[in-house]
Structure 1
Amino acid sequence: MTFYAFARSVVYTVFKPWYRVEAIGVENFPKEGGVLLCSNHIHNFDPIIVGIMAPRPIHYMAKEEVFNVPVLGAIVRKCNAFPVKRGLSDREALRTGLKILKEGNVFGLFPEGTRSKTGELGKGLSGAGFFASRSEAQVVPCAVIGPYKSFKKLKVVYGKPIDMDEMRKTKASADQVTELIMSEIHKLIKEHQ
């Protein structure tokens, strides 16, 4: 058993009953090939919740500072995270993200870039559009819905992969692609709230 699988099973046994987490649309999640998973961001636990409910291991970017914290840095790295320098165009992080997708893995992103203080869906940054345009990965919208309160229901909704053919054919800008992704996340929130 990998460290990721072990950590996932331990966290799953604690978080799933604590937040009464329900996964919806797991059948929409591609069983193989590169997947860019794009989710809203309402709480610091979102990467954990989305990760334990997904049917495949997820790779995430995490702010560089996390990797400098003793013990935590090593754990985060073993849980498929890689560092990104925030506020800069980090070419190394961009290359790593594209490599993950090219190798047929799942790369999880929170296009808003930071947690929403209000719980409302914010504007997406162009990074999501960049990865969607520059890879052949399937793009899956995801929504985390509900309060992070003990024993109140929390939903993780996986939408159908977004049809990216037209966007890739017309070489749409990263911002336009991100807007499409955000609109699909918005639809999931509205439908399952």
Structure 2
Amino acid sequence: MLYWIIWAIAWLLLRSLYALFGGLKIEGAENVPRKGGVLVAPNHISDADGPTIYLALKRPCWGMAKSELFQTRFLRYILRLFHAFPVKRYSADLAALRQAEELLKQGEAVVIFPEGKLSEDGQLQPFLPGVILVAERAGAPILPVALIGTDQLLPYGKLIPRPTRRPVVVRFGRPILLEELLRGLKKRERLEKGAERLRAIVKALLENQPYPPFTEDTPENKAVGGETPTTESLS
């Protein structure tokens, strides 16, 4: 009960802050599963990305945060209060991946940034295969997300947000099942190629385009398609 009260207060506070700094536009909100385990996979261009996803999902979620943030007692308390758990960057942190897997199996929404680190120039980086491994082991769908403008709200290396000229956009794509994403791939290439396909999907969302087709030149391998999301604004 206490967590739900804190979550509601934090959500209202974030919504008010976004209204003050330029607004938030949510596209494809109907694509967010209201219950059940789902791995949320956004691009990563700002330290504001985590709170932005937290607000836009409209359901409690868990998320990985770099382990360095947990070194300060107060910040560690705040992060854990909002269901963040540490991950060691630039390494295969099996403990963090296992925790994400267990949370997904318990029906939670878990946010993992597939790039593994913040993009300094705002460009989409290569996706790491760990996100595919977690989704596959947990049997959870992946919810691709495009974040646009959070780097204007809180630029790389800055600590204080600034007003934006246009609303930040959170664009939710259609959830993807692993058998759909990995269709036609050989076992030894599923993780790497699956990560590449997921990156292509997020790239398409950033450009507001349908999902790219992933076919293997056989009639049974249908394209992975998506419709243009509808829009909801918070301002």
Is TM-score (shorter-chain normalized) higher than 0.5?
yes
For residues 23 and 188 of structure 1, the distance between their equivalents in structure 2, rounded to whole angstroms, comes to 13
CA displacement, residues 149-190 of structure 1 (integer Å, 9 cap, x when unaligned): 514221000000114224278645211211121111001001
For residues 184 and 59 of structure 2, the distance between their equivalents in structure 1, rounded to whole angstroms, comes to 29
Cα 1:60–1:16 change in 2 (3 A) is: farther
The question of whether the paired residues in 2 share the 8 Å contact of 1:129 and 1:176 is answered with no
**Which of residues 18, 21, 31 is equivalent to 1:28?**
31
State the AA in 2 paired with 1:96. Q
**1:176 aligned to 2:179?**
no
Q: Give runs of aligned pairs for residues 10-29 of structure 1, distance below 5 A.
A: 10-29=13-32
Alignment correspondent of 2:67 = 64
The question of whether the paired residues in 2 share the 8 Å contact of 1:133 and 1:168 is answered with no
Aligned sequence identity (%): 32
**1:140 aligned to 2:154?**
no
The question of whether the paired residues in 1 share the 8 Å contact of 2:140 and 2:177 is answered with no
For residues 19 and 52 of structure 2, the distance between their equivalents in structure 1, rounded to whole angstroms, comes to 8
Instruction: After TM superposition, give the deviation of residue 9 of structure 1 in Å.
Output: 2.4
For residues 183 and 63 of structure 2, the distance between their equivalents in structure 1, rounded to whole angstroms, comes to 24
**1:87 aligned to 2:90?**
yes
Alignment correspondent of 2:212 = none
Q: Give runs of aligned pairs for residues 36-47 of structure 1, distance below 5 A.
A: 36-47=39-50
The question of whether the paired residues in 2 share the 8 Å contact of 1:36 and 1:106 is answered with yes
How many residue pairs get aligned? The number is 192
Unaligned segments of structure 1, at least 5 residues? none
RMSD over aligned Cα atoms: 1.9
Any idea what SS the aligned residue of 1:71 has? Answer: helix
Cα 1:169–1:99 change in 2 (3 A) is: farther
Any idea what SS the aligned residue of 1:113 has? Answer: coil
For residues 19 and 147 of structure 2, the distance between their equivalents in structure 1, rounded to whole angstroms, comes to 13
Deviates more, 1:75-84 or 1:175-184: 175-184
**1:104 aligned to 2:107?**
yes
The question of whether the paired residues in 1 share the 8 Å contact of 2:101 and 2:135 is answered with no
Larger Rg: 1 or 2?
A: 2
Alignment correspondent of 1:164 = 178
Any idea what SS the aligned residue of 1:156 has? Answer: strand
* TM-score, length basis structure 2: 0.76
Deviates more, 1:23-32 or 1:141-150: 141-150
The question of whether the paired residues in 2 share the 8 Å contact of 1:39 and 1:109 is answered with yes
Alignment correspondent of 1:191 = 208
* TM-score, length basis structure 1: 0.91
State the AA in 2 paired with 1:187. A
Cα 1:74–1:121 change in 2 (3 A) is: same
